[in-house]
Structure 1
Amino acid sequence: MDGARGPWRSWLYVATGALVGFPTLVVVLVLAGLGMALSPVLVGLPILGLLGLSGVVVGKVERRRLRLLGDEPPSPHRTLTRRGFLDRAKARAGELATWREFAYTLLFATGLWLLDYVAAVLPFVSLLLLGAPVAYWLDEPAYFGFTLTSLPAALLVAAVAVPGVVLGLLLATGVARLHAKAARSLLGAPDAGPDADMAAIESNGRLLDAFDAERRRIERDLHDGAQQRLVALTMRLDMIRLRSDDPAVRAELATAHADARTTLAELRELIQGIHPHVLDERGLPAAVTDLVARHPGPVDVRLPGLGRLPSTVESTAFFAVSEALTNVAKNGGAHAWVHGHLAGDLLVVEIGDRGTGGADPEAGSGLRGLADRVTAVGGRAMLSSPLGGPTVVRVEIPCR
């Protein structure tokens, strides 16, 4: 909130908070009242369930409102693999984030919106009072409780309103910061607990401490050795082809040249997959974007707020995304997504697709190697892949 727009953004935040807060209070009171009144006949229990889930909607709206202050925390919810309303509601009820959102909803409905209201009204009324001289000029003797008997009286009202605007904006800024701090704390927190419909991918427990060093050595050897020799070979084949006068020989050399170029392209793609240079130079979001550009199917990428992370974290996350997307491509290239965010000192990344499901870590799908890699850095990998899909791989990597 830099510059002159900061106080006005704060005022807009508290003003919209007051507008959203009162309906929220009404909905909470209605659902709570109906739920408790009808509980003896069991009809109220689903209503109380809706009350508990109301925080999901409020949380989504409140995260959007934080854009007014320059940021929007990523959703703490994972992508659901269930499609029916009851199944989705049950899955949401099992997430810690849902109940943190409900706690925020109660706090918002019972107190925060009232603070927003007071902080929004003071500068608004002060601004209106600045118009007292205009009201006097229009022959309006009564103006918001003030009797404008003369022009000096009207000017005095306007003069008093000036510090009211300044103090009101300062109050709005302070209340906005307080409200935003509570919102970020409760609405941006991760669901770090186990997920009801996700199973851990077991690691073989192999020692992978030297993996990064060995991977970089292989990459360097391929880049400086085999790749350079292939480049030289393609150039030599092309030169020989141009010098030959025999059409049959030229055709054979052209085929060999094309095969060499294809092999070179495959080798470069292999090197890129082992450890892309863009990962070192620009970080995980850029590397994933580059990876997705070469994926055969559509992929939705959402990695908000991810700056540079420790190199081990970035390479592990990239390996997980690459391996999971490779599995998607092998199984038909269904619509996929890569969603990730930082949750404290934890990087959470989900890679999913809307394919046929049924992924099995024991069936040589590469998921076991993915789990080995994530486990080696102190993280965990989980999988949900019911028959009929979708398939979701979730990795949690500590950033310490």
Structure 2
Amino acid sequence: MSLRGSVPRTATGLVLGAVSAAVELAFLVLTALGTAYALVFSRGRRMMPRVTVAGARWLTGLERRRLAVFLGDRSAEEYGPLQALAYLVLRVPLGLLGGLLLVLLGYGLAVAVALPVLWLRGEAPEGIRPTPFMLAYLVVAGAVLLFLDLAGLVGVAELERRLMRRCLGPSPLEAYERRIAQLAVTRAEVIEAVDDERRRIERDLHDGVQQRLVALAMLIGRARRAGDADRAAELLRQAHEESQRAMDDLREVAWRVYPATLDEEGLRAALETVAERSAVPVEIDYSLAGRPPRAVETAAYFVVCEAVTNAAKHSGAGRVTVRVARRDTMIVVRIDDDGSGGADPSGGGLAGLARRVAALDGRLLVDSPPGGPTAITAELPCG
């Protein structure tokens, strides 16, 4: 059965759906009588009794939880009483159909078990004696009926999800409006993230490379003015060392802006470089078969780089584990550390990562309770 989640969980969801459909059918019958009574005795001033509204919301809430837990659908949002009633009216026959298919499946399995037992005891009814033709016929017919029944259950489960999304989810216009608003927000956040990155690069150049170059220029100037050859040689030696440190700082800034390894060798090699440069041990578990798109690689790299840097600087972690894997159409990057926790998702670094991930229609999850451990997960779409 190509259902979301495990087969036992889906079957349990369908069984509960059949039971709830019977309860909802009784509720709808009572609702029809109660609404007619309210219309007559309130002279049209009250269309739906309060108990009907409360019951419809309660039953619909149960269905939402059932679909979320057993059928893997969490698309429903806020809804009104009329939406809840419309959903229940359409769902009842679907739930009863699922129950009927489950009953037929149980009956077929019971027959498949009972016939061999009767044949072994010699108690089989006349006309279904175990001849080769009869056995072949029953095996083929049973396999076809089993396939049709399971296909029907798959269809019921999918219709349950679609009905929930259609009745209780946002309308196409609302979905478009939300998408436009989301794109506007992520666009503004990307611009803000770019500005933050520029400011960080400026700070790195000003506080690091620029100071090194100023010191280098001063050493060279002093060497030129030195009257003693030994003193000039010492100053030039210091200038040479300072130039080496300036080059190291410049390479560090360039690596933090965008590592060439990411373009040349891919995400795995770039993450291995992060692990080598980290102050704490980093274990890389990389299970992607091919290279993801460049934008996804870049986002994944910076998520890992920032998380590893935070773990080394702030959490006091002794070990960091990085896992990169594909889940359906998503690239999932998870970074775990055994530090003290307390990471702030709204902080500058993590907030910038969240904006970068959101720009790709992904999401960044931060789980960092006080005392640790910390888990940072980025889910990046990769069709």
The structure in which a higher percent of residues are helix is 2
Return the TM-score normalized by structure 1: 0.41
Higher relative contact order (CA 8 A, sep 6+): 1
